[in-house]
Structure 1
Amino acid sequence: MVGFTIDLAGRVKNFDLPKNQPLIPLYEAVVNSIFAIQERQQKEAFNGKVEIEIIRDQQEIAKLEGIDRSINEITGFKIIDNGIGLDENNMKSFLQSDSTYRADKGGKGVGRFSWLKAFSKTCIESIFKDYSDNVLVKRNFEFSLDKAEIDDDLIEEKYIKENRTCVSLVDYLPTYRKHVNKNAETIAMKLMQHCMIYLMFPKCPQIYVIDDKKYNLNSMFEKKMYREPQNEVIDIKGESFELLHTQLQDATLGGSKLFLFANNRMVKGIDLNKEIVDLDKNIFDDKGYYYVGILSGKFLDDNVDMNRTSFDISENKEDEEISMEDIVQTAKTKVEGYLSEYLDDVRKNKKEYIRKYIRDKAPQFGHLLTYMPDSIDEIKPGLSDNKLDEELYKIKRKFDSELKKTNEEILRKIDVGVVNLAEYKEKFEIQFQKISEANKAALAEYVAHRKVVLELLKKGINLKEDGKFNKEAYIHNLIYPMRRTSEEIEYLSHNLWLIDERLAYSEYISSDIPFDNNPKEERTDVMILDNPVAVSDEDNCGREYETIVIIELKKPMRDDYTDSNNPLIQMLGYVEKLSTNKVADKNGRIIKVGKNTQFYLYAVCDITPSLKKIMSRSDLKETPDKMGLYKYHENCHAYIEILSFDKIINDAEKRNRVLFDKLGV
């Protein structure tokens, strides 16, 4: 009987094994098998082999023919190899914590403690050659926290003619079991990635994962290798690293990766899709592979933690010390160089797409191409129009913020007195140019908005799919949002310019009592549907208004007008109410009307037969284009226009055509 030269329970308790990395004990066992095979190959020639058997819970689904056992939980693994075995030297190392026996190969002497961290026990049977007597002997024992000592009796093995060591990782502990992927191929792929460096060795043993199917990691790696690996030596602050560039035809990677290795074992994975803007999952669709970089070096070997689950390296740059940021950024630059042909095409296509989108759909962002090229370059390729618009808007906000900050800085310097303005001439010119471009962008956005509004109006006056016309609310909201006052919306939020350009900056001054003047009705600050709206370009400061505009909106193709119910009667009635000087504005202030107040009355509606008949009796005349009616009412000092929807659209398009042409919309 022999015992460990440490407090085993305490050592296992202090072993740091993240719950989301349940395969680390398996990796340790497999790498040990590879080392054992390499050690035996130094003594004799043979073909090395490692088999990993997946053990599943047989209670969940009975082991019957035709039943898919891959949905059963994985409870453990058997790792079988034909390496050197647990001979005297390896057994001594096994019993000693932090053994340096395999330090030259990156061994830390602690990997086996991960077995007891994640499993209830480990059963080990090792048949190996005793070279002194030239016979095979067997060592068989259980490694667990329940046994402080192990039976170290050696028995001569007469029935097996080949070295065979089996490490059985038995009964996953619940904390780790629930994080184990049940798919055998996925486990094989993860093992392949972890052992990638070994799989490139000429004398790498054949490694198999065995479940209902058998997966050969060597064949998988060979088939998935798109191109021969290319090694590059890089320098980071005087330290030498090796970056192995590979391309794998492996969709399960989910993206291009940079793997940081220490002592020939993978410790940290970096998602390059997040590090390199123009490198994303599309590379697999376009080229059929993902990029995989393997970064190694003495610095990484020296700074890996004892358990090989992380590095003892600062994340951010600090003085002259090498940080993880230094390592990743340098490697990223080399990866971009290696993939330059692909990335150059992606960037070219992305820029063309962004330019086309801005030219055709979002001219308000045009100046960003000139003044924010670095930010434009940081946009991910392949975005939808909506996502691209969001990114461009973020960049525009950044541009506006920087522009404002620089403006304030220049004004501050002028305030304190600049000795030589000539020194700032170039800076001023650049800033003025930026301001000009920003103003052009704002104008472009406004013009594009007008184009969209016109298209919506065209759609709104036509029959819907249900065979009906839109209600008044559709037109009302399009021209001026319902239930809103000028204090609640910006001038850009209404589209009174559709009727007359002079109304673009109008104030809403409509009375805040119901237009039927019924005092029993609740006072409200809303526009009443199908009733006049009064606007003006003047603030109510107690003086008589020079002009007041009244607008009446009607449902498209309405044709039930009568002598007592038509837009002309309604608008003139509102003029009468205003002329009493008893109507209040939205703030409760009287809207003062005098003898010189000029009214402009606009009825926006289709000139249907019933309306045309009534208007002809009221002596309204046709406009030259025969799409509207007009009259001046001398007694009311009111210019009256009946505007059809077609006339509004045609006139607005004519007024804005030169802007649309210049903008390319």
Structure 2
Amino acid sequence: MSNIHIKRAVSNIREKTSIYTPIVEAIVNSIQAIKSKEEANGLVTVTLKRNGQLELDGTQSGDRRIEEIQVRDNGIGFNEVNRESFDTLYSDLKINEGGKGFGRLTYLKYFDHVWINSVFQKKDGTYWTFDFKMGDEKHFITNEASLPAKTGQTGSVTRLGGLKKKSAINQSAKTIARNLVELLLPYFITEEYSCPTIILMEEDESERITLNEYLSSKEAVIKELPLLESEFSLQGSERPQEFKVRLFKIFSPGSKVSKISLVADKREVETAFLHRYIPEFEDEFFEPSSNPESPGRNYIIKVYVFGKYLDDNVSIERGGFNFRRDREENNELYADICQTEIEREAAKLANTAFSGEVASRLERKKAIIQEYVEQQAPWHRETLKNVDLNEFSMHPKPEEMEEILHREQFKTETKLRVQVRNILDKEEPSDQGDEAARAVAINISEKSKSELIHYVALRKYLLDLLARKLDYRDDGKYHTEGAVHDIIFPRKKDTDRIPYEGHNLWILDERLSFTNYVSSDIPFDGGNTDRGDVIVYGHRIAMRGDNTATNPITIFEFKRPGRDDFADPSSTEDPIAQIVRYANRLRDKRFKTPPGRPMEVSENTPFYGYVVCDFTPKVEEWLEREKSFTPMPDRKGWFSYQVGPKIYIEVLSWDKVLNDAILRNKIFFHKLGI
């Protein structure tokens, strides 16, 4: 044949091959050689040669790397026809059996050395041996030698040595055998075909495993499950394509999970997790034993899919298919069948076969989701009625449930917007349009209820958080002033820098939810001068958004829970004096207003001041004797009107602020059951 660049051809193998690909290739070549010979007692033996280094005490080394794999058969051997085919890239000798004339290149992707020794019969009836090494530069066959054979038994031995990725197959014989059985299963189960005996063994014969017995023995670890419906059809770009499904239980699966396997020319090509389509297949299943002394066995499901469409479209490396994995959105009508469509239909048949167990698992999952919604996310109650439970994994975590429910909620909102737009675009009203409008109105009402539930529930969480921050820390000290400050309104921020819903001023006063401008811990003039903890300008609920001098300005000062040193005579942090000073400076307009948001302040602008702190005997004495404040009936707050600066001031305890907020919202919490 003409010279080819073998190394480059090997490096261009980019499909999803694995270390098992060349081993399966060698075994399939042996199976085909036995078929060509029409050998009734076909036998393929796969021998594992490991590192046999001895330790000083004479025992085997713990490093039992596989150094060479030998595949032996009693097939037709490398006669003249097979030799020419092996030396021809893209040979069509085995095209009727799905041969691509390319598979042997995978030998060199994973092994450094490939030797083949064969005995074949010439046309004159004589037997000859044919030995060669597979080349890795320009020729497939190198170092060849042909001599008369000493035996009349044909067959071949393929030796794969110099494993490039030793760790990739540093496994026990049992593990390798199980993997090979699953990859070669189509050969074992093909109707009207008898697969040769395939044996995998260690070189020292410490283990000898017959792969066929995985399906045929009394304690077989692979069993087929008959299906009431085993075929489906999908419409291709030119004609319908037929597919056949066969389902198997794989016992004692170890860490494996249920899968869908797409088969081409009797070889597994692509696999997909079955739980991608039916989440309830994520866990293993259990088959009880009919023998009381046996506990039964766990198993997974493997769904094998066959079809001419798969045979015709398998890639040359057999690592994938020449059709898309997913259908393109803009090419629905004339696109070929894609991989996910085939897998989805196969999954449906598996789901039907396990409908009882799947339904039971689905109910358990549904209970988990419902419990989450009822206890932690009641605003999703309406959304839960419409969401597809297959969107959730079998054991959904809160983060996953919230993400999926939120996504479904967004889809509902988008759909409602489209429906409203379609109704508004109608030129003339009609009975049908009125009915559509009523249906949309009901949906919007339910959506609004869910949003209100969400908002109220978030209030409950925030009050719980505030209560925690008012308690002692683990070190026996109170949390800092900033810890509680940031819950109510982030420090160093104003309403020009955070979104409308980014603060929780409702904890202090519900009216503060509707404000024109709020400044938190920001100097009046942009420098290092005095700054109020929270300064609220303009209650929108009162002034309807108009920026006028008659609207009130409210100033808050927070003091760290447990702290009372501000009541000392020598303190420079007197919060009442601070509030009066802030009010005077605001009235004098001695500060920089936010860009584009001038504050209209006059002598008659109402000012309110609030100090939030913990009440100790020293604080109460200070308020009564030094500040002349009047106690509220519950003595959890004190008040006074400062005539000179014209400002009304209240001093409130943290407990009062928290308890009042809880009382204002308690009826909503009760109705929601939170």
CA contact (8 A) 1:98 1:109 kept: yes
Q: Which residue of 2 aligns with 1:304?
A: 314
Cross-structure match for 2:231: 233
Q: 1:199-240: per-residue Cα shift (whole Å, max 9, x none)?
A: 447665142143686362345566673643335233334443
SS class of match (2:116): strand
Q: Distance in 2 between matches of 1:242 and 1:499?
A: 68
Q: CA deviation at 1:485?
A: 0.5
Task: Classify 1:326/1:592 alpha carbon distance in 2 versus 1 (closer, same or farther; 3 Å).
Answer: closer
In structure 1, the partner of 2:182 is 193
Q: Deviations over 1:250-291 (max 9, x none)?
A: 5466332222222222222233333x0414533369993222
Report 1:557-636 matches (<5 A): 557-560=562-565, 561-563=567-569, 565=571, 566-580=574-588, 582=590, 585-587=593-595, 589=598, 592-595=601-604, 597-617=605-625, 618-636=627-645
Provide the residue aligned with 2:292 in structure 1.
Answer: none
* Distance apart, 1:244 and its partner CA: 0.7
Pairing of 1:90-109 with structure 2 (within 5 A)? 105-107=97-99
Residue matched to 1:205: 197
Q: Does 1:294 align with 2:308?
A: no
**Partners in 1 of 2:261 and 2:466 — Cα distance?**
57
SS of the residue corresponding to residue 268 of structure 1 reads strand
Structure-1 residue corresponding to 2:375 = 360
3-state secondary structure, aligned to 1:468 = coil
Partner of 1:273: 275
Question: What's the CA shift for 1:656?
Answer: 0.6
SS at match of 2:614: coil
Structure 2 counterpart of 1:144, one-letter code: M
Task: Evaluate the alpha carbon distance shift between residue 486 and residue 321 of structure 1 in structure 2; reply closer, same or farther with a 3 A threshold.
Answer: closer
Aligned partner of 1:533 in structure 2 is 535
Q: For residues 394 and 656 of structure 2, what CA distance do their matches in structure 1 show?
A: 44
Match of 2:71 in 1: 79
SS in 2 for 1:470: coil
List runs of 5+ in structure 1 lacking aligned partners: 1-5
For 1:178-577, list aligned pairs within 5 A.
180-185=168-173, 186-200=175-189, 204-210=196-202, 214=207, 216=209, 217-219=211-213, 225=221, 227-230=223-226, 232-237=230-235, 238-249=240-251, 251=253, 254-274=256-276, 276-279=277-280, 281-283=282-284, 288-313=298-323, 315=325, 316=327, 319=334, 322-370=337-385, 372-374=386-388, 377-411=390-424, 413-414=425-426, 418-508=427-517, 514=523, 522=527, 533-537=535-539, 543-560=548-565, 561-563=567-569, 565=571, 566-577=574-585
Task: Write out per-residue CA displacement over residues 437-482 of structure 1, whole angstroms, 9 at most, x where no aligned residue.
Answer: 2222221222112111111111111111101111111121112110
- Could you tell me how far 1:130 is from its partner in structure 2? 9.7
Report the Cα distance in structure 2 between the residues aligned to 1:385 and 1:224, rounded to whole angstroms.
Answer: 40
Distance 2:143 2:562 in 1: 97
Contact 1:511 1:584 in 2 (8 A): no
Distance 1:644 1:658 in 2: 23
Secondary structure at 1:289 match in 2: strand
Q: Secondary structure at the match of 1:602?
A: strand
CA contact (8 A) 1:495 1:504 kept: yes
Q: In the alignment, what sits opposite 1:3? A: none
Say which of 21, 25, 37 aligns to 2:22: 25
Say whether the 8 Å CA contact 1:198–1:204 is kept in structure 2. Answer: no
Partner of 1:169: 160
Which residue of 2 is the match for residue 53 of structure 1? Answer: 47
Check whether the contact 1:511–1:583 (CA below 8 A) recurs between aligned residues.
Answer: no
Could you say what secondary structure the match of 1:153 adopts? strand
Is 2:222–2:249's contact at 8 Å kept on the other side of the alignment? yes
SS of residue in 2 equivalent to 1:80: strand
8 Å contact kept, 1:8–1:148: no
String of CA shifts for 1:543-564, please: whole Å, max 9, x gaps. 4233222212111122221357
Per-residue CA deviation, residues 487-536 of structure 1 (Å, 9 max, x unaligned), is 11234222222222222222445599847xxx9x9258x955xx563443
SS in 1 for 2:607: strand
Using the TM superposition, give the Cα deviation of residue 392 of structure 1 relative to its aligned residue in structure 2, in angstroms.
2.5
Secondary structure in 2 matching 1:626: coil
Task: Give the whole-Å Cα distance in 2 for the aligned partners of 1:535 and 1:586.
Answer: 12
Alignment partners' CA distance in 2, 1:567 and 1:10 = 85
Give the equivalent residue in structure 2 for 1:154: 148
Q: Give me the TM-score of the superposition, normalised by structure 1.
A: 0.82
Larger mean CA deviation between 56-65 and 380-389 belongs to: 56-65
Structure-2 separation of matches of 1:489 and 1:285: 55
SS in 2 for 1:288: strand
| Aligned 1:24-43 pairs, distance under 5 A | 24-37=21-34, 42=38
Partner amino acid, structure 2, of 1:263: D
- Stretch of structure 1 that moved more, 307-316 or 641-650: 307-316
Superposed, which structure 2 residues align to 1:120-131 within 5 Å? 122-126=114-118
Partner Cα distance (1:386, 1:291) in 2:
29
* CA offsets 1:371-405 (integer angstroms, 9 cap, x no match): x424x542333232123223323333333333334
Measure, in 2, the Cα distance between the counterparts of 1:611 and 1:120: 86
Q: Residues 130, 468 of structure 1: CA spacing in aligned structure 2 closer, same or farther, 3 A cutoff?
A: same
SS of the residue 1:488 aligns to: coil
Contact 1:582 1:590 in 2 (8 A): no
* Structure 1 residues 633 and 215: alpha-carbon distance in aligned structure 2, compared to 1, 3 A threshold: farther
Tell me the SS of whatever aligns to 1:631: strand
Task: Measure the CA separation in 2 of the matches of 1:117 and 1:547.
Answer: 79
Letter in 2 for 1:261: V
Structure 2 residue ranges without an equivalent (≥5): 288-296
Matches of 1:361 and 1:332 in 2, distance apart? 33
Q: Give the residue type in structure 1 aligned to 2:170.
A: K
Q: C-alpha deviations, 1:279-313, integer Å up to 9, x for none?
A: 45333699932221111133333443455444344
Which TM-score applies when normalising by structure 2?
A: 0.81
Distance 1:536-1:151 versus aligned 2 partners, 3 A rule? same
Please, which of 46, 50, 67 is the counterpart of residue 61 of structure 2? 67
Which piece of structure 1 moves more, 643-652 or 219-228? Answer: 219-228
**Does structure 2 conserve the Cα–Cα contact (< 8 Å) formed by 1:188 and 1:215?**
no
Work out whether residues 44 and 196 of structure 2, in 8 Å CA contact, stay in contact via their aligned partners in 1: no
The verdict on how the C-alpha distance between 1:626 and 1:209 changes in structure 2, with shifts beyond 3 A counting, is farther
Count the aligned residue pairs: 632
CA contact (8 A) 1:36 1:83 kept: yes
Between the aligned partners of 1:62 and 1:150, the Cα distance in structure 2 is 40
